[in-house]
Structure 1
Amino acid sequence: MNNKELKKRRMWTYFIDATEELIHTEGFKQVTIRKVADKAGYNSATIYNYFGELSHLLFFASLKFLKPYFKVVTEEIKKTSDPIEKYLVAWEVFSEHSFKNPDVFHSAYLMDLGEHPESLLAHYYELYPADLLDVSDELKPALMKRNIDDRGRFAISYMIKAGVVDEDEAEELNELTNLIWQGMFTNVLNNRNRYTAEEAHVQSMKYIREIILAKTNKV
């Protein structure tokens, strides 16, 4: 790696780390390009040499906040070999963490990042490869998927391989479960829901579990 590339990587981490610190101290909604620049010790114009827009900075910073989620889902999925239970566990952990940290999960998985969000995700792990050290090889492919539908397809692949559902049934189940979560999550994120974060998680998992068990003939 030449000096120019090293400098570029260093500048990226300066701004991402500054964004992370601002989120910690002020919250997602208070982060601005100017504040990030001031925190990192540069002017705002410099940031645009490395990031196209604020959403990209928030996306990269949000991934740093996902490490506890990655750790828990890795540990929990290892505890069962049953393909249906693996899918349920994947949803349980994702749902619980997403409702506890809606701004983080919105930025990481739903916020409009423009073109080629997958390349941004890959670039993050180039900058922070240590974030993958505690993630099992089984789950690493899923972490390289930013699209919720694609991540769901990976999670449900265990059931396809085991013959529990065929590909068409899996696609339908994936769409239904994603719609349940996204509907509840969007309402919570926009303060349009009567549920607390914990209640939203419990209610979402009630519906998701019912659909999964119905579609796999377990009820």
Structure 2
Amino acid sequence: MTAMEQSLENKKIQRRRMMSYFIEAAIGIIEQNGVEGLSLRKVAQAAGYNSATLYHYFKDIEHLSLMACMKYLRNYTLQLAAYPYSSDPLEAFLEIWDIFCENACHYPKEFYTLFFNKHSNELNNTITEYYELFPEELGKQTELISRMLLGQNIYERNRFIMAPIVEAGWLEKEDAELVNEIIIFCFKEILAQKCANPDCMDGDMMKKKTRQIICRLLPVPKKG
């Protein structure tokens, strides 16, 4: 490794170290006061730096919130890695959504921040950067799930896991995008309800509502 390459590597290590400090500080604040309790001043103070330093590593408080909330995907990604999916593409699609709903119900505000934040359309960049910092949280995923997890936003993520349904001929390609948008729109509303009133539903109810929507839109065969 040349001196220049070593210098660049050292800068990369330093950047990751600093980002880790701020992310861990933000997670601590979220644990105590919720996502709404985050501010640049509080995070900088907890990490032992001034607010101006944060802007060297994060665009704004929403970007930092997005990175900090990635921690709440850990159980979700590990469950995805361990789950024995059905060979039926429709049932596998529902199973992936079940796991998502179960975890979103535990951390509704954190999941809302992740998937419906002003930076959520750049989710793939955030996820890639986060898992470079914390690779142990990703788990060993199938190719399809890996592509889904690195999707640009929640629409692309859902598009990836819906692809086998289209390929199997269960859903017309020209209808897939509209179906995708309706599923995400409806789930966003369900999650917003949970954020506004945490007692309005549990994980089973969230899964049931989401399944009902999907089953109305997709030709899911009824179990006998």
Common fold by TM > 0.5? yes
Equivalent residue pairs, number: 215
Cα RMSD after superposing both structures: 2.4
Paired residue for 1:142, among 138, 143, 148?
A: 148
- Residue identity matched to 1:19: A
The match for 1:218 is: 221
Q: 2:161 aligns with which of 155, 160, 183?
A: 155
Q: Which runs of 5+ in 1 are unaligned?
A: none
TM-score after normalising by structure 1: 0.86
SS in 1 for 2:144: coil
1:34 aligns with 2:41: yes
The within-5 A match list for 1:67-216 is 67-76=74-83, 78-113=84-119, 116-191=122-197, 195-198=200-203, 200-212=205-217, 215-216=218-219
Amino acid at match of 2:216: I
Contact 1:184-1:200 at 8 Å conserved across structures: no
Whether 1:24 and 2:31 are equivalent positions in the alignment is yes
Alignment match, 2:5:
none
Provide the residue aligned with 1:65 in structure 2: 72
CA distance in 2, matches of 1:72, 1:45: 38
Q: Write the deviation string for residues 105-157 of structure 1: whole angstroms up to 9, x where unpaired.
A: 11111111287443233222222223223333331111111412111111111
Secondary structure of the structure 1 residue equivalent to 2:143: coil
Identity %: 28
Preserved contact between residue 65 and residue 104 of structure 1 (Cα < 8 Å): yes
How far does the alpha carbon of each residue in 1:160-200 deviate from its partner, in whole angstroms, 9 at most, with x for none?
A: 22222221232232222222211222233234x98234475
Distance 1:217 1:201, change over 3 A: closer
Structure 2: runs of 5 or more not aligned: 1-7
Matches of 1:203 and 1:195, distance apart in 2: 13
User: Which range moves more in the overlay, 109-118 or 34-43?
Assistant: 109-118
Instruction: Quickly say closer, same or farther: Cα 1:138–1:152, change in 2 above 3 A.
Output: closer
